[in-house]
Amino acid sequence: MALTREPQSARVILVTPVPETSRELTLLEAWQLAEATASGWDGHWSITALLSTDVNDAPTPDTGTSGRRRTWQADLVNDAGATRWLRMTNGVAVDAIDPGYAAMAVDGGPSRPPAIDSPDLLALALREHPALRPGADKAHGYHFAYAPDPLTGRWLASVSGEAIGAPARVLIDPDAKAVVRAERLAMRGGGLLVSRDAGESWAESRLSGVVTAIAADAAAVQVTPRVFAAAWSGDSLGLWATSDAGQSWARVAILPGPAGPSARAMVAGPWDGADSVLLATNDGVWVYRIPDGSLGVIETGGPVLDLLLDADGTLHAILMKQADPESARHYRWDTAGSRWELVGPQRVTRFADIPGAVAFEEVGSGQTILASGASGQYTLRVTPRGIELAGSAGADWELTQPGGVLGLAVAPDFDDSGIALAALYTGAVVLTADHGQTWHQVTEVPGRGAQVTFVGRTLAFISVPGSAQWEGF
């Protein structure tokens, strides 16, 4: 079970300072500690899942190779169906909360201690599947878990790490002491469509994988500009380039594992003395310098939600702290001081597609996407109602394309051409050639994650969504 935020009704049951002396526990030792702690609570509590975590720890790639971990979490349920989470660090139960809702766990029957401990689980997993390596991305080292299997309902133990560059796990029947299955999380689907006539017709572009960001130098005047794309191929995030309007692609860089599987945003253009491509990732802004092909990173201390290069070549970013979405703020990079400067105190999540570095919060009940031409005479926005066109005074808005909208992009010459593209939740991609007064469908894509991007006056792309799936290895 994975949650991103505790419910507002959560109730703290236990808080204990984390002991300074480091002590690691095996899976069975953590089970026994959880049971002993729960025995002091009111009512009868049963363990529904037990897993090692990185909380209250600073793991290295070697962590877990002994079959022991420093921190563990037990999920428990009582006879009334209430859920409680217990965390244990350095051999001590340090906190527990009631999240405030009933359990929805798989019914795996009565809980009982595992019949095989984690050191033996790890040895068995590596003997049967030597390709399993320690995790190096979000979960570091080897991790262990014991819980009902969602597929069969029976209790299984697991050893997790990486295999072939992707998160992987080996599931083991603790009673039979045998491997049930081994699987890795692979990306499937995805792809790219290209239009060379400003969105009227579309064809498949030969770039495989899950494309997560596309960019070209906005100031380039070539009819066929050099375009860059970030694509996850299942084992790495690569930076690709095309100079023939998407007919062929060449990989120019492979980002390191900590960058994660996707680029949330990407910009291209002159920066810090060289034509560059900058990518927003989980662990910073990665910079690819086009002249020498070098790759570097600007540290951010957390995920980067959006990027923008303004007309003066200043880099702007929306940065947030790890696991704290409320901390998202607009920053700009001070090249001379090599540091990030806070631009505004309010929470923002993306930049508007209008002249200047205008950032705003993307929310479900208000303005979510804003775009206009260089003159600002014509402005479009997306709200929960659909796409709206600004009135002559800019105060009144007219709904011209109803329905849920995933993305909106205006052509570089929007003031003159009136061309813009939008991807709808239904999978339809719609086009306007009169500044948003009327729209018509030009193509359709599967899934609900398509994004549209203009990289030239007549050149545009649609990234087709992919999905993560467990598959055997």
Angle, CA of 273, 274 and 276, to the nearest 5° = 130
Residue 153 sits in the same domain as residue 225 = no
Please report where in the chains the tokens 């009227």 appear, as a residue. 200
Range of the domain at 61: 11-176
Same domain, 269 and 291: yes
| Sign of the CA dihedral running 317, 321, 324, 327 | negative
How far apart CA 454 and CA 445 sit, in angstroms, is 17
Q: What integer pLDDT is reported at residue 173 of this predicted model? A: 97
Number of H helices and number of E strands within the chain?
A: 3, 36
**Do the Cβ atoms of 263 and 230 come closer than 8 Å?**
yes
As to burial, measured by CB atoms within 10 angstroms (0-12 exposed, 13-18 middle, 19+ buried), residue 268 is: buried
Assess whether 190 and 167 both reside in one domain. no
Domain identity same for 423 and 460: yes
Which of 146, 176, 206 marks a domain boundary?
Answer: 176
Q: Is 110 exposed, middle or buried (0-12, 13-18, 19+ CB in 10 A)?
A: exposed
> Could you tell me if residue 1 is inside a domain?
no
* Those residues with Cβ within 8 angstroms of residue 412's Cβ, 6 or more apart along the chain or in another chain: 218, 454, 456, 457
How far, in Å, are 186, 342, 417, 436, 442 from residue 299 at the CA level?
A: 28, 15, 40, 39, 41
pLDDT of residue 374: 85
6 in any annotated domain = no
Residue 303 and residue 428 in one domain: yes
Residue 262 lies in a domain: yes
Query: Is the same domain home to 323 and 461?
Result: yes
Q: Are residues 240 and 366 in the same domain?
A: yes
Residue 2 belongs to some domain of the structure? no
Same structural domain for residues 246 and 172? no
* CATH number of domain containing 377: 2.130.10.10
Distance CA 349, CA 365 (A): 14
My answer on whether 272 and 351 are in the same domain is yes
- Considering the domain architecture, whether residues 194 and 168 belong to the same structural domain is answered as no
pLDDT of residue 105: 45
Last residue of a domain, one of 156, 176, 196: 176
| Residue 305 forms part of a structural domain | yes
Q: Are residues 140 and 209 in the same domain?
A: no
b/e string for 157-173 if b means 16 or more Cβ within 10 A? bbbbbbbebbbbbbbbb
Q: Quick count: other Cβ atoms within 10 Å of Cβ 183?
A: 18
- Among residues 76, 109, 92, the alpha carbon closest in space to that of 15 is found at 92
Residue 182 CA, chain-centre distance (Å), reads: 24
> How far apart are the C-alpha atoms of 305 and 197, rounded to whole Å?
30
* Residue 3 belongs to a domain: no
Boundary residue ending a domain (125, 153, 176):
176
pTM beyond 0.75, yes or no:
no
Kindly state whether residues 113 and 262 are assigned to the same domain: no
Is 408 part of a structural domain of the chain? yes
**Parallel, antiparallel or unpaired: strands 227-232 and 178-195:** unpaired
Running DSSP on this structure, what letter comes out for residue 322? T
Q: Looking at the 3D structure of the chain, how many domains does it have?
A: 2
- Beta carbons within 8 Å of 334's beta carbon, 6+ residues apart: 340, 341
Does 146 fall in a domain? yes
Profile the chain (473 residues) by mean pLDDT over runs of 10 residues.
38 90 96 96 94 90 96 93 92 88 52 95 98 85 93 91 89 96 82 95 90 87 85 84 95 87 93 95 93 92 93 94 89 93 94 88 67 88 90 78 92 94 94 97 88 94 83 90
